[in-house]
Structure 1
Amino acid sequence: MAPADDHPLPRLSRAVMRAEAAIGGILVAAILFLLLANVVSRMAGRPLIWTDELAVHLMVVLALVGASLVIAMKGHMAIGVLPDRFGTRGRVRLALLADLSVLAFLLVLAAILWRWFDLPGLVRAGSGAALAEQSFNFIYTDPTNTLGLRKVWFWLALPLTCATALIHCIAALHGDLKALQS
């Protein structure tokens, strides 16, 4: 029998984690560049007003990527008083409970995102404008203030983050169950 690390779930989670770390680094560099460009352009008397908005949207995407990455690293804040009172088996059970709670949250988030993005409704309506007219769901038509882009391009980070966080959570659950078996 192969060790838990050789299972495809942890390998996939680690690969996704590496991609998220790389994307996070690129986003941090892009945000830094945008903020510096904004400072320089304002000092020159010709402000680039769109840099603020793009930086804010990229910060939100960075936060979402980071949230998924932290799930993979099991790095979210935790209170250690309760786990410290249990033995090894109790800590594994508590980790399983925590990971099941994260899974429940992510499944609820996935259901909300499915409803919000409403792909079947979009297909039936034929366009984002028709969907907005029929259902008052403006997700595909709402523009950014200064960039001239649809906000949906930034909001796509939500379902992507939900999917990657689910991968990390399922891999963690796999590890929890393996630890309970040993």
Structure 2
Amino acid sequence: MTGAKGGLLPGVKGAFGSVEYELDREATRLRRAGDMDGAIAVLRRRKAIFDWQWQDDKLAKYLQRAGCFEEAMAEIQWLLDHSQARARRALGHQPVSLQQSQHAAYCARLHASAALICKREGRADLQAQHRRLAERYGAIWQRLEPIARADAKEACLRRQEEIAEMRRRLRADRSRSDRAA
């Protein structure tokens, strides 16, 4: 299904053609035009729409480019502070190992972004700290990822078996009611 502007999945957060997607494009257009304040304002509106699902580091990078280093780092910290709860809410139906694996990968990316922001700002001390944290979370992800993949596969097989059992019961119930009629 396509939206009025030809985008796929209208109303789905972040989907092509959605309000969130259009706001992201608008922020990029404003940045390219040199209007960093406008781009930041648009990204803040986008963050408000996403609410707890917000996980984009673009706002932090734009804040740093606009000379707001402390605000940029506060945005990174906000993303880190909310990352565990977001992983649980978004992946709560998945095995814990998968939730932890995805969380570790996300934290590695966030700390890598923070290191880049610090590098651009000339803060070698903080850059090194975030680079170490990115590497540490990356190592955690590398250890968890094979476990998470195996657990997810096992959970999928269990769900398939549960569905097959429900279908067998449903057929048996229909068969009994057909005979009773």
| Same fold per superposition (TM over 0.5) | no
Rg larger in structure: 2
TM-score under structure 1 length normalisation: 0.30
Per the normalisation by structure 2, the TM-score is 0.30
